[in-house]
Amino acid sequence: MHVCEVGPRDGLQNETVLVATSDKLRLIAGLAAAGLPEIEVTSFVRPDLIPQLADAEEVLRTALATLSTRVRALVPNLRGAERALQAGAPALLQVIGASETFNRKNVRRSVAESSSELHAVAAAARRGGATAMLSVSTCFGCPYEGDVPVEAVTRLVEAAGRAGMLRVEICDTIGVANPRQVYALCEQLRREFPDMRFELHFHDTRGLGLANVVAAIDAGIVEFAGSLGGMGGCPFAPGATGNVCTLDLVNMLNEMGVRTGVRVEPLIELGRWLEGVLGHRLPGHVLRAGVQPVVAKES
Amino acid sequence: MHVCEVGPRDGLQNETVLVATSDKLRLIAGLAAAGLPEIEVTSFVRPDLIPQLADAEEVLRTALATLSTRVRALVPNLRGAERALQAGAPALLQVIGASETFNRKNVRRSVAESSSELHAVAAAARRGGATAMLSVSTCFGCPYEGDVPVEAVTRLVEAAGRAGMLRVEICDTIGVANPRQVYALCEQLRREFPDMRFELHFHDTRGLGLANVVAAIDAGIVEFAGSLGGMGGCPFAPGATGNVCTLDLVNMLNEMGVRTGVRVEPLIELGRWLEGVLGHRLPGHVLRAGVQPVVAKES
């Protein structure tokens, strides 16, 4: 099972404390050391819109220079993709909302305008020797429009495929997905797009994050996004809270006997350090409870 | 899907603030008004061991006199069962740990001694016109012994059946179960005991509560325990934290299109009131996030 850590991007962009670049790099290095096979290290967005990620170039360049883990960067459009590629990004995700209103809020374009850039982004990536993938926001519900039709998701997946992208991230941006809905969508996506790799990205807003992971696994999904400690959210999605906690996710998979290659203990240490950096507790359960109960001595 | 609220018993017994009897009754009445079909209102344990539940008689009697919802009471042994029946309990659960050490800590008897009381408890209940069921603690792991063999669970279920009990609650007392383990145990229990009704009782210690519910549903289980707001734990299980939050559970089932008969909105109000009574926030997600995102106005 493949777990991609998105905390340095999706987590930090929703934190109020401006985190020092050196702390971001320490976080990313710690994640890599714990065995995370892929890390979404930053996003090439306008610094005036998300000041937290204004150091995207430096974070990406240093991560690439110092780590052997796969790293990727989010981009909102072709301009962001070009910035990311110039900084040496080996992999990038273009984000598009399945819901029209959300996409306008998030990347200031219509879905059609964003989709029309998929080819250019993929082509730019190819020229730069990088891979491009699509990240689809609000696949299970939108804070502005409510229900999101499945066709809005499949249309974007199809467009990504036509642009030559081989991987799509399916996001429950505001944490409204339920296991039945997740199973149905994943099953349909795998059936309609047998050659596409799908990564599922859940938020734990209503406590359903891990239940949705299990439903996705049941439907054959093997790639998930998580965020250390469960930090995260989306500045343009009212009511959104943190991502599925990477620690809780990895602990669950380990306990289920599913190999992730990730060690939980160093992540607990890293999560506690991160709480100090952010100045508040993070919601992840395993941060508090530990991996398994210490077998208590009989008293 | 049948949801039994165990907060007034399993939740309150782990709270440090002594809750007034009138507040307990207000909680129970609010739960009934929200549509919970069954409520575990108290436990007939020694008041010196669990002072929070010293008002068991009064709580049970008043609940019975004022509500039409099904209520039940936990008992640690025959003596507790007799107290419960004398107070008019229409249904009681005898609790036995699947793990030897836990059972000794929890009810001060060996598993064999507790099991040998099952017949007497069931017979006393029958004489009192009540039903008796078994609650098995530490089915998925023990804070003292670690792994718990499946046979320790099935042996107790078998004993309950021989005593004429028709229902067994299967508890993950310390929140260590994982979805794969849950599916396997539930599948085995339903296969070996096709006439027994099973209720699954999870704790959310490592964030796996709802994922485990989904796994149990996949294995055909239709009865679950939850606690309002996710309060709870076990005073004799180190490291245990709250039950699966009833609100999060009901919200998930509702969103999945599974009927529970429970209305979430009044439970949110009740949960917020309960936080005031207890003097701290409860961990349930829907208490904070609400049922579904309010569709935000475009700004």
Query: For residue range B221-246, what is the model confidence (pLDDT) as tens digits?
Result: 999 999 999 987 555 655 557 899 99
Contact criterion met (CB < 8 Å) for B289 and A179: no
Contact criterion met (CB < 8 Å) for A295 and B248: no
- What percent of chain A is modeled with pLDDT above 90? 86
- Report how far residue B252's alpha carbon sits from residue A145's, in angstroms, rounded to the nearest whole number: 21
Is the pLDDT at A293 greater than 80? The verdict is no
CB A170 within 8 A of CB A199: yes
Q: Is A259 exposed, middle or buried (0-12, 13-18, 19+ CB in 10 A)?
A: exposed
Our CA angle for A197, A240, A83, nearest 5°, is 55
Partner residue opposite B293 with nearest CB, options A176, A257, A290: A176
* Residues near A149 by beta carbon (within 8 Å), at least 6 away in sequence: none
pLDDT of residue B180: 97
Residue A85 host element (H or E): helix A78-86
- Torsion angle (degrees, nearest 10) of CA B236, B45, B114, B11: -50
Is the pLDDT at A299 greater than 70? The verdict is no
* Residues near B119 by beta carbon (within 8 Å), at least 6 away in sequence: B162, B163, B164
Please list every residue in chain B whose beta carbon sits closer than 8 Å to the beta carbon of residue A280.
Answer: none
Contact criterion met (CB < 8 Å) for A214 and B179: yes
Contact criterion met (CB < 8 Å) for B211 and A211: yes
- Report how far residue B75's alpha carbon sits from residue B165's, in angstroms, rounded to the nearest whole number: 14
Q: Is B87 exposed, middle or buried (0-12, 13-18, 19+ CB in 10 A)?
A: middle
pLDDT in tens, A188-238: 999 999 999 999 999 999 999 999 999 999 999 999 999 999 987 655 655
CB B245 within 8 A of CB B204: yes
- Taking residues B62-84, report their average pLDDT: 97
Contact criterion met (CB < 8 Å) for B256 and A295: no
What is the b/e burial string over A218-239, where b = at least 16 CB atoms within 10 angstroms of the residue's CB? bbebebbbbbbbbbbbbebbbb
* Residues near B70 by beta carbon (within 8 Å), at least 6 away in sequence: B37, B38, B39, B90, B91
- What pTM did the predictor assign? 0.92
pLDDT of residue A238: 58
Q: Which two tokens stand for residue B164?
A: 């004429």
Q: Nearest chain B Cα to A184, which residue?
A: B256
Neighbours of B151 (CB within 10 A): 10
CB B296 within 8 A of CB A238: yes
Q: Minimal CA–CA distance to B50: which of B182, B236, B201, B285? A: B236
- Report how far residue A59's alpha carbon sits from residue A83's, in angstroms, rounded to the nearest whole number: 13
Shortest alpha-carbon distance between residue B240 and chain A (Å): 8
- Report how far residue A37's alpha carbon sits from residue A39's, in angstroms, rounded to the nearest whole number: 7
pLDDT of residue B184: 98
Please list every residue in chain B whose beta carbon sits closer than 8 Å to the beta carbon of residue A234.
Answer: none
Is the pLDDT at B290 greater than 90? The verdict is no
Q: Nearest chain A Cα to B238, which residue?
A: A296
Phi/psi of residue A70, nearest 5 degrees: -70, 135
- Report how far residue B132's alpha carbon sits from residue B137's, in angstroms, rounded to the nearest whole number: 16
Shortest alpha-carbon distance between residue B263 and chain A (Å): 16
pLDDT of residue B14: 86
**Domains located in chain A, CATH noted:** 2-288 (3.20.20.70)
pLDDT of residue B297: 56
Is the pLDDT at A16 greater than 90? The verdict is no
Please list every residue in chain A whose beta carbon sits closer than 8 Å to the beta carbon of residue B140.
Answer: none
- Taking residues B14-31, report their average pLDDT: 95
Is the pLDDT at B295 greater than 80? The verdict is no
pLDDT in tens, A78-122: 999 999 999 999 999 999 999 999 999 999 999 999 999 999 999
pLDDT of residue A111: 96
Q: Per the residue annotation, which of B4, B139, B142, B234 is the catalytic one?
A: B234
Shortest alpha-carbon distance between residue B32 and chain A (Å): 23
- Torsion angle (degrees, nearest 10) of CA B172, B173, B175, B176: -60
Contact criterion met (CB < 8 Å) for B214 and A214: yes
State the pLDDT confidence band at A6, using cuts at 50, 70 and 90: very high
pLDDT in tens, B119-157: 999 999 999 999 999 999 999 999 999 999 999 999 999
Shortest alpha-carbon distance between residue A142 and chain B (Å): 8
pLDDT in tens, A151-201: 999 999 999 999 999 999 999 999 999 999 999 999 999 999 999 999 999
Is the pLDDT at B296 greater than 80? The verdict is no
**Across chain B, where does the E strand assignment appear?**
2-5, 38-43, 70-75, 91-97, 131-137, 167-171, 197-201, 223-226
**Residues of A marked as catalytic:** 234
pLDDT of residue A280: 87
pLDDT of residue B299: 47
pLDDT of residue A288: 86
Is the pLDDT at A128 greater than 90? The verdict is yes
* Structure letter (DSSP) for residue A176: -
